[in-house]
């Protein structure tokens, strides 16, 4: 369904319009405008949580318009778990947690593809628990600390 990501990452694997169409299809949104709203709000929320090289590298993988939505946000000092991310997004957008979760899944599944498995693994290592599921991946088991 998706084009293969470019190995050199010099350019995103798809245009913003193509990204919107994938999100529209995955999220079963009735209009392109609704898909764009989801892309912008979810990426802004992710931009508040993602820092460092992973933030920069992800921005390089995204179409310019999407990268700007991600990087225009100043990262929050409070690190949100995946569930708290959904609740915060619902509060900011005035929707329900179910709608926020749906939007997040539709957008981050496309972002996951654009990022590729290596970058996605790095991103997930730097985010609190609960984000793997938001990206459509199984939550990794974290080693338990010794008592």
pLDDT digits (tens, 9 = 90+) for 21-52: 999 999 999 999 999 999 999 999 999 999 99
Q: What's the CATH superfamily of 16-134?
A: Uncharacterized conserved protein DUF2267 (1.10.490.110)
Lowest mean pLDDT among 1-15, 51-65, 102-116: 1-15
Go through the chain and tell me how many residues it has.
147
Per-residue model confidence (pLDDT) at position 32? 97
d(CA 78, CA 94) in angstroms, rounded, equals 21
pLDDT per residue as tens digits for the range 84-101: 999 999 999 999 999 999
d(CA 75, CA 52): 10
The CA-to-CA distance between both ends of the chain, in Å, stands at 47
DSSP code for 13: S
Locate all alpha helices (DSSP H) within 5-140, ordered by sequence: 16-27, 32-47, 52-61, 64-71, 82-93, 97-126, 131-134
Tokens of 89: 């997004």
């Amino acid at each position: 369904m998706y084009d293969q990501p470019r190995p050199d990452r010099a350019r995103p694997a798809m245009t913003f319009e193509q990204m919107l169409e994938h999100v529209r299809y995955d999220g079963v949104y009735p209009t392109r405008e609704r898909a764009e709203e989801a892309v912008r709000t979810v990426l802004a929320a992710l931009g508040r949580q993602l820092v460092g090289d992973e933030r920069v590298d992800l921005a390089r993988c995204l179409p310019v318009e999407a990268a700007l939505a991600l990087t225009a946000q100043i990262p929050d000092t409070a690190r949100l778990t995946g569930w708290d991310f959904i609740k915060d997004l619902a509060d900011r957008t005035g929707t329900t947690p179910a709608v926020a979760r749906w939007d997040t899944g539709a957008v981050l599944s496309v972002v996951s593809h654009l990022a590729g498995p290596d970058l996605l693994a790095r991103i997930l290592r730097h985010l609190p628990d609960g984000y793997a599921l938001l990206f459509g991946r199984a939550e990794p088991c974290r080693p338990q600390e010794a008592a």
